[in-house]
Structure 1
Amino acid sequence: MGRQDSMLILALAELLNGKLVESRIIEQSLKLLCEAFTFDEALLYELDQYKQMCLKEQYLQFPFSPPEHFVLSELTPAYCELLARQTLLLVSESDQNSADEKVLLTMFGCRSLVVAAVVDEGLSVYGLLIFARREPQAAADSAERLLQTALSMFGRYVGMRVYKNKLSFAQNALESILDNTGIDIYVNDFQTHDILYANKSMAAPYGGISQFMGRKCWEVLFPGQGGECEFCPQKHLIDENGEPTKIYTWDYQRPFDGSWFRVFSAAFRWVDGRLAHVVSSADITDNKRNEELVEYLANYDSLTNLPNRRMLVKECERRISRTQKGDTGYLLFFDIDRFKAINDTLGHSSGDEFLVQLGQFFAGIPLLKNAIYRNGGDEFIAIIDGDKTEANIRNLAGFIHCRFTQPWHLQKGDIFCNVSIGVARYPEDGQTPEALLSKADQAMYKVKKTGGKRFCSATSYDCTRAAKDPL
């Protein structure tokens, strides 16, 4: 290598000595190489995340408008592989040019090219260096070797930026995946609880990513809280040696808007080796609402909004189970007298309207509040316990019969009717819901057989006459 060649390599090495890849340095290097090897243009293209070769830097000695971008697929895979494996390729206009060489010469509007690829560790092409001459020029072997040396140095320098861009593309792709999964994610330090990462969907309701980074998780999620959450699941995420175990799942309701989330927590090693806690959550608000609706439909009567027979049986079992020696409870069975006549004369909509009013009336009686159930049809059940006596129950029945002496006002007119009441007492008359319902039902039917409008106890089957009926 001659003195002049050595000076070129030293000058290039001095330019490329920095650890940061700067566009200014690249442009100066392109100029240096153009002047040393009499090129008319020097262009540096890099692959973007959309698989296009984009012009990043250039040096032009003559007016020229190179393509701002092109797709690498314009060249055949075999030629791209050749570019990746060779330090440089010389392309000059001739009758023997391959299809790929013709594409390059036409694309850059010249008669002679030097093409060098910037590749990654897998020999995938991530950049192209193009040096062009308007006229062909034969290069001496020594000049070609010098250019190879220079381009190897320059390629390593540019390769740092290419590698950084490749990492950036991968990071952007990963973040795009994490931001579009429909799942909220954040990561915090296992010991300090400092937030290390949050995706956009997680951060959005709290004011964005800037509100998360560098803060404790509870400072963001629960403003005003002074320390770790009582329900923090971290103790479930590690074994006795402090090593990560399995994923822990739990449901959480966000306080400021009532949204529900299914939360998945796990411990793992962060990029620097420290133990971290990743929390991901999926919005299950609609699921919760559906569950609540299903639960409601399973346990409540859709017409009167009173708890139904299913709830009645469960509550009756609960009350019987807590009954102690000497305690007495009552199950009251209400059946409307002549209810069918309302449906037949005014229609089923009026019958439903009456049942709604009746449910509201029963629920409005202090003794029956949270104790009245719709058994189905025109049947209602009440469960009463505590310090109530049979006299209290008879007084309640009298109050109810008194109300039935007054008309019920419906949209299609006023109606009069009455109610038959059968009562079973527990534990004397039965110690299961089914036994009590059967006894109360039998007592109620005894009232029906005597003309209705009365109260009957299953213990004595003694029917008490109701208040006077205007019918």
Structure 2
Amino acid sequence: MSTESAAAFVLKLSEMLVGKQVDTCIVRDALTRICKFYSFDSGLIYESDQDNCFHLKECCVSQDTNIRESFRTEEINPQYREHLAKETLSHMAKSPHASSNELKFLELFFATSLLAVSMVDANYRICGFIVLLNTQRKEKIPDAEMKTASALLHLLGKYIGIRIYQNKLSFARTTLESILDNMGIDIYVNDFFNHDILYANKSMTAPYGGISRFLGHKCWEVLFPGQCGPCEFCPQKKLIDEHGNPTKVYSWDYQRPFDGAWFRVFSAAFRWVDGRLAHVVSSADITENKRNEELIHYMANYDALTKLPNRRMLISECERRITRAKGAGKGYLLFFDIDGFKAINDSFGHDAGDEFLVRLGEFFSGIPMLAGSSYRNGGDEFVALLDGDVTEANIRNLAHFIHERFKKPWVLKKGDVFCNASIGVACYPEDGSTAEELLNKADQAMYQIKKSGGSGICFGHELLPAGSARGADQD
């Protein structure tokens, strides 16, 4: 042991090991001084990583000394690890009286004798070791000097503990940032009141030019350049109660203007690390989902052959128009059935029949009065919805125009075809107050025309009692 007094040495070391930032040179110097003071050949400091492996961080060694650069936690018996975690100081040497665990621990560092202190976290998991060792001599430190040695090593351990804590904190922060950057969700946080951006993950910032474009800026300055204040659609008022305390998460869908991408957005109020109220906005790209939803909606509401809205859409739109017109409006439902359509299929085949239906759908959609209001009810049946300033005279003129077209041939790939149309018309509210009632009345009117030879128009009020001669118009 050095001739320097223990008290003077402890005081000198205490003066060295101060400060909130760990200096590696100071650690190495302190380790060297302690080794020299207690006449140990070498001093080693190990710290664990996140994979339960201890790595050599600092050392002072004599020549020709083997050094263990790293070792795994599992190389120490689990029960002995618990013992080392709870022991204030471990002092051991190779001897007939040494336990098997002590001998294995000595072999781990190629030592004949050693003094070790474990550094532990709040859960008594070992996160580091300070080891003083001899590789040739076996003498032990006198018991009278053990308290001073324990105090010195723990003083050094407390100093190194700052670094261990900072490393763990840095790893936790890096891990969290990595998770936030790779979870497929865009996230940013802004001050709840002044809207300054406090945080944004990489996936959020990438389309806008990186994190430097976000931090220190108002959210709308980044997301909506040229805007001078908070967004009108910002849901902040829905995120706090009357006392200004955070409430529940609010979700909404948003389409990004510069590329048309869709996002499902989640907004919530919470307390930031400094206690201020903050607004976190997270969003998941649902562009593909939106496309799928649109495809499903299209498949459910549009006819695959003619691309016209189908019966489902017809019923929905008709009910919507009825609701809009209730009490003050009038509307018409026109039911078209093709006279002679079966002959097209029989003569030219179903492909020709399909081609004709497509041409017919295009014809109806191309009539200004029917544009956006034509539907395929099924088979060779088409329906149109008309309201607003339309009159019965307008509809009769429309029917005349349609019948004139049917007097001409329809040119198909397999030949020219001739056919005609029977038209039944129901009027709201006289002929019904629901879509199904109007469809039924228009179908009856259409059928009356069909029984009379087709190529005509019949309104609901023109329907005759069963067995009566027909009285509707024919072209």
Q: Mean alpha-carbon deviation: is it higher for 131-140 or for 50-59?
A: 131-140
Q: How far does residue 226 in structure 1 lie from its aligned partner after superposition?
A: 1.9
CA distance in 2, matches of 1:322, 1:280: 38
Cα pair distance change 1:14/1:381, threshold 3 Å: same
Name the structure 1 match of 2:468. none
Name the structure 1 match of 2:160. 158
Q: How far does residue 445 in structure 1 lie from its aligned partner after superposition?
A: 1.5
Aligned letter for 1:464? D
Which residue among 317, 320, 331 is the counterpart of 2:319? 317
Name the structure 2 match of 1:344. 346
**3-state DSSP of counterpart to 1:201:** helix
Alignment length, in residue pairs? 466
Q: How far does residue 126 in structure 1 lie from its aligned partner after superposition?
A: 0.8
- The answer to whether the 8 Å contact 2:335/2:382 transfers is yes
Name the structure 2 match of 1:87. 88
Q: How far does residue 256 in structure 1 lie from its aligned partner after superposition?
A: 2.5
Name the structure 2 match of 1:22. 23
Q: How far does residue 55 in structure 1 lie from its aligned partner after superposition?
A: 1.3
Q: How far does residue 64 in structure 1 lie from its aligned partner after superposition?
A: 4.0
Q: How far does residue 65 in structure 1 lie from its aligned partner after superposition?
A: 5.0
CA distance in 2, matches of 1:20, 1:353: 81
CA distance in 2, matches of 1:2, 1:30: 18
- The answer to whether the 8 Å contact 1:21/1:161 transfers is yes
Which residue among 349, 359, 362 is the counterpart of 1:360? 362
Name the structure 2 match of 1:388. 390
Cα pair distance change 1:444/1:121, threshold 3 Å: closer
Matched, 1:117 2:118: yes
Name the structure 2 match of 1:47. 48
- The answer to whether the 8 Å contact 2:306/2:357 transfers is yes
Q: Mean alpha-carbon deviation: is it higher for 117-126 or for 366-375?
A: 117-126
Cα pair distance change 1:167/1:405, threshold 3 Å: same
Q: Structure 2: which 5+ runs fail to align? A: 464-470
Per-residue deviation, residues 238-285 of structure 1 (Å, max 9, x unmatched): 222212222222222222232322222222222222111222223333
Q: How far does residue 362 in structure 1 lie from its aligned partner after superposition?
A: 0.5
Cα pair distance change 1:458/1:234, threshold 3 Å: closer
Cα pair distance change 1:424/1:141, threshold 3 Å: closer
Name the structure 2 match of 1:420. 422
Name the structure 1 match of 2:308. 306
Q: How far does residue 161 in structure 1 lie from its aligned partner after superposition?
A: 1.2
Q: How far does residue 3 in structure 1 lie from its aligned partner after superposition?
A: 5.3
- The answer to whether the 8 Å contact 2:220/2:231 transfers is yes
Aligned letter for 1:124? R
TM-score by length of 1: 0.91
**3-state DSSP of counterpart to 2:337:** strand
Q: How far does residue 115 in structure 1 lie from its aligned partner after superposition?
A: 1.6
**3-state DSSP of counterpart to 1:388:** coil
CA distance in 1, matches of 2:410, 2:69: 85
- The answer to whether the 8 Å contact 1:316/1:433 transfers is yes
Q: How far does residue 43 in structure 1 lie from its aligned partner after superposition?
A: 1.2
Which residue among 188, 191, 205 is the counterpart of 2:207? 205
CA distance in 2, matches of 1:390, 1:119: 91
Q: How far does residue 378 in structure 1 lie from its aligned partner after superposition?
A: 0.5
Task: Map 1:153-192 to 2 at 5 A.
Answer: 153-192=155-194
Cα pair distance change 1:388/1:233, threshold 3 Å: closer
CA distance in 1, matches of 2:356, 2:237: 56
- The answer to whether the 8 Å contact 1:40/1:62 transfers is no
Per-residue deviation, residues 309-343 of structure 1 (Å, max 9, x unmatched): 23223333343444488965332211111212222
Per-residue deviation, residues 102-141 of structure 1 (Å, max 9, x unmatched): 3333332232222211122332211111222121223223
CA distance in 2, matches of 1:244, 1:51: 40
Matched, 1:270 2:272: yes
- The answer to whether the 8 Å contact 1:40/1:132 transfers is yes
Aligned letter for 1:140? P
Aligned letter for 1:331? L
Per-residue deviation, residues 274-298 of structure 1 (Å, max 9, x unmatched): 1112222233333333332333233
Cα pair distance change 1:327/1:217, threshold 3 Å: closer
Task: Map 1:431-450 to 2 at 5 A.
Answer: 431-450=433-452
- The answer to whether the 8 Å contact 1:87/1:151 transfers is no
CA distance in 1, matches of 2:118, 2:329: 93
Aligned letter for 2:131? I
Name the structure 2 match of 1:469. none
- The answer to whether the 8 Å contact 2:221/2:227 transfers is yes
Cα pair distance change 1:86/1:435, threshold 3 Å: closer
- The answer to whether the 8 Å contact 2:192/2:278 transfers is yes
Cα pair distance change 1:325/1:86, threshold 3 Å: closer
TM-score by length of 2: 0.90
Q: How far does residue 21 in structure 1 lie from its aligned partner after superposition?
A: 0.5
Name the structure 1 match of 2:245. 243
Q: How far does residue 415 in structure 1 lie from its aligned partner after superposition?
A: 2.3
- The answer to whether the 8 Å contact 2:93/2:140 transfers is no
CA distance in 2, matches of 1:12, 1:277: 48
CA distance in 2, matches of 1:450, 1:289: 48
Q: How far does residue 376 in structure 1 lie from its aligned partner after superposition?
A: 1.0
Q: How far does residue 143 in structure 1 lie from its aligned partner after superposition?
A: 3.5
CA distance in 2, matches of 1:154, 1:201: 42
Name the structure 1 match of 2:466. none
Q: Mean alpha-carbon deviation: is it higher for 392-401 or for 356-365?
A: 392-401
CA distance in 2, matches of 1:99, 1:389: 105
Aligned letter for 1:37? Y
RMSD: 2.5
**3-state DSSP of counterpart to 1:393:** helix
- The answer to whether the 8 Å contact 2:117/2:154 transfers is no
- The answer to whether the 8 Å contact 1:368/1:382 transfers is yes
**3-state DSSP of counterpart to 1:395:** helix
Cα pair distance change 1:84/1:389, threshold 3 Å: closer
Identity, % of aligned positions: 58
- The answer to whether the 8 Å contact 2:113/2:140 transfers is no
Name the structure 2 match of 1:293. 295
- The answer to whether the 8 Å contact 2:92/2:140 transfers is no
